[in-house]
Amino acid sequence: MSITTRLDCFGLRGLPSMLGARRLVGAVLWAAAVGGCSERTSPPPLPTVSSVSPTNGPLAGGTAVTITGANIPAVVDSVRFGTGRLGGLVRVSAIQLTGTTPTSATAGAVDVVAFTSSAGNASCPSCYTYNPLVTVSGVSPAGGRVSGGTTVTIAGTNFPATVDSVRVGTVRLGSVVRVSTTQLTGATAAASRAGTVDVVVYTTSQGSGTCAGCFTYNPWGTSLTAGNSHTCALTVTGAAYCWGNRFSGQVGDGSTAFPYPSTPVPVAGGITFASLAAGLWHTCGLTGAGAAYCWGDNTYGQLGDESTTQRTTPVAVRGGIAFESLVAGYGHTCGLTLTGAAYCWGGNYIGQLGIGASDTLPHPAPMAVVGGLRFVSLTAGAIHTCGLISSGAAYCWGDNYEGELGLGSYDSLAHTAPVAVGGGFAFSSLVAAQNFTCGLTSTGVAHCWGWNTDGELGDGSTTNGDLPGAVAGGLIFASLTARGQHTCGVSTAGVGYCWGDNYYGQVGDSATVYRSTPAAVAGGLAFATLAAGQDHTCGLTVAGAAYCWGGNYAGQVGDGSNTQRHTPTAVVNP
């Protein structure tokens, strides 16, 4: 050690100039006798924190972060993010720390501070931001078929640019698109079962948000039918459910007991159906293989099982005929084969079977409709039947007392074979009700004829018509349905309209006065199909939800009550 260094060690660096040479030598000797000191050690450099990656995360914490800086000592006491302590702290090197963020009560930027005992503290002001949590406030539509494929819009707040996933119940939403910070879209996938589920949005940067019970997977398929005071529908798997009046066994659950079921009950037998058709007091179903089954009232042999015995569960229609479609009237049933041949069975006292004769005997097995016509569709009213051929020409047979055959006349004759409907219209579909008929042209224009006491023809009057007359209002329909004394249709925009008898509120416009022109069904629902019963009406929405309205004295609305409904009321899902 040099003299200067040794003197400096004792604070004597200035002595040489002050003491002179003789005294300096003495000072040096004294310093040597004392033993000297080691060279002075400089203090360690202060640590710094320059950045945090990622720079933001959710209030819930748990984000893995990397802290970059300099001069970080081997021992770091703690790191604070705002007021919370970093978890899982690891010193990777003198320039890097890692850990997981703590939770925060509030959103916003916070300071990141590293605390050390040996080298002091290092701060990075506002280096990390706690993002506001994602929230989910609603889903539109609020339901869809359990088979999936429903396009939904999810509303909420704070949706980040990257959304990890969205769960609807236990299944993942497909094709998720972040439209904005308040909107996501996607398509539902198939669920394992029907029911109401939570919708959860997951993000890395802003946590997850839940909308509890915001979406319902509806079980219903596309087949819905309504009788006098009962209703039936198929699930997406082809299981049949019915509700309402079962006095004659038409619900198919093996019972005729009162009280009648006011919510859907399964049809017995476990048969998988492709379509259903309800008559006045009976119901029929068709399997995918074309096998026909019927149950309920069988007074006229309308079940087709070669008996007149009432059945409370499905029985096979005899004859081994493979049908493409079935329709049910008040006391008769008809079926159409793949080749367009029509068969009917049941009551025939006014010629409604179309077999070339009329009588008061039951006809409990399928009989071919005479005339050799090949039909593309059939429809059955109270005691008349109609069919379309491929050209769009309509033919009807049976009762014409109110002009429901559309012949340009009224009579009490039994029309026992198909006769052409007048007017020269080419129809795409037909629907028959109690004593009137309606048809839809290929352009969606509706025409009706027959009985009109309650305005069921929709022409603005209550005058009967013996030829097709246009329904007023200029609406363009995608489909029609009729039963009892009222008619309904779904417009090409999915809006439901009804007209005619409204004593029980079956028109669905929140009133109970008849309508002689189409009235919009209240509620703003988008319908895929409607089914008119005698005193009630039901519909399936495009999302697969079932609604009914009108008479409910036997529980036919399916809402668990017997309260008359004047607007669409949700059917309880099974």
- Which of 218, 235, 258 is the endpoint of a domain? 218
How many Cβ atoms are within 10 Å of 406's Cβ, its own excluded? Answer: 30
Are 438 and 333 members of one domain? yes
For residue 45, count CB atoms less than 10 angstroms from its CB and return exposed for 0-12, middle for 13-18, buried for 19 or more: exposed
Same domain for 199 and 227, yes or no, is no
Q: Which domain holds residue 276?
A: 220-570
For the chain, how many structural domains are there in total?
A: 4
Phi and psi at residue 558, to the nearest 5°: 80, 20
Same domain, 180 and 305: no
Are 471 and 510 members of one domain?
yes
* Domain-embedded: residue 39: no
What was the pLDDT predicted at 33? Answer: 46
Same domain membership, residue 11 and residue 54: no
pLDDT at 43: 75
In a domain, residue 43? The reply is no
- Model's pTM, two decimal places? 0.83
Contact 36, 6 (CB under 8 A): yes
- In the block, tokens 């209030």 appear at 59
Do 403 and 456 belong together in one domain? yes
Domain membership of residue 282 (yes or no) is yes
Q: Does residue 20 sit in the same domain as residue 115?
A: no
Asked if residue 214 belongs to a domain, the reply is: yes
* Domain co-membership, 305 together with 416: yes
CA dihedral 250, 254, 257, 259 (to 10 degrees): -70
| CB-based contact 244:555 (threshold 8 Å) | yes
Residue by residue, pLDDT tens for the chain (574 residues) are 444 444 444 444 444 444 444 444 444 444 444 444 444 567 788 999 999 999 999 998 999 999 999 999 999 999 999 999 999 999 999 999 999 999 999 999 999 999 999 999 999 999 999 999 999 999 999 999 999 999 999 999 999 999 999 999 999 999 999 999 999 999 999 999 999 999 999 998 899 999 999 999 999 999 999 999 999 999 999 999 999 999 999 999 999 999 999 999 999 999 999 999 999 999 999 999 999 999 999 999 999 999 999 999 999 999 999 999 999 999 999 999 999 999 999 999 999 999 999 999 999 999 999 999 999 999 999 999 999 999 999 999 999 999 999 999 999 999 999 999 999 999 999 999 999 999 999 999 999 999 999 999 999 999 999 999 999 999 999 999 999 999 999 999 999 999 999 999 999 999 999 999 999 999 999 999 999 999 999 999 999 999 999 999 999 999 999 999 999 999 999 9
Residue 208 shares a structural domain with residue 280:
no
C-alpha 491/C-alpha 47 separation (Å) is 73
Which pair of tokens denotes residue 243? 């509700």
C-alpha 397/C-alpha 384 separation (Å) is 6
Q: Report phi then psi at 356, rounded to 5.
A: 90, 0
Taking alpha carbons only, the member of 399, 445, 391 closest to residue 419 is 399
pLDDT of residue 40: 53
CA distance 379 to 276: 13
- Which of 82, 106, 131 is at the close of a domain? 131
**Cα separation of 336 and 322, whole Å?**
9
Is 446 a domain residue?
A: yes
Quick one: 267 and 358 in the same domain?
Answer: yes
Last residue of a domain, one of 115, 131, 147: 131
What pLDDT, on the 0 to 100 scale, is given for residue 459? 98
The answer to whether residue 393 sits within a structural domain is: yes
Residues 6+ apart with CB under 8 A from 304: 292, 294, 317, 318, 319, 333, 345, 346, 364, 365, 366
Indicate whether 214 and 255 sit together in one domain. no
CATH number where 71 lies: 2.60.40.10
Write down the pLDDT at residue 479.
Answer: 98
| 278 domain-assigned | yes
Helix then strand then coil, % of the chain, to nearest 5: 5, 45, 50
Tell me if 40 is assigned to some domain.
no
Instruction: Mark whether 140 and 121 lie in a shared domain.
Output: no
CATH number at residue 451: 2.130.10.30
Cα–Cα distance for residue pair 191/189, rounded to 1 Å: 6
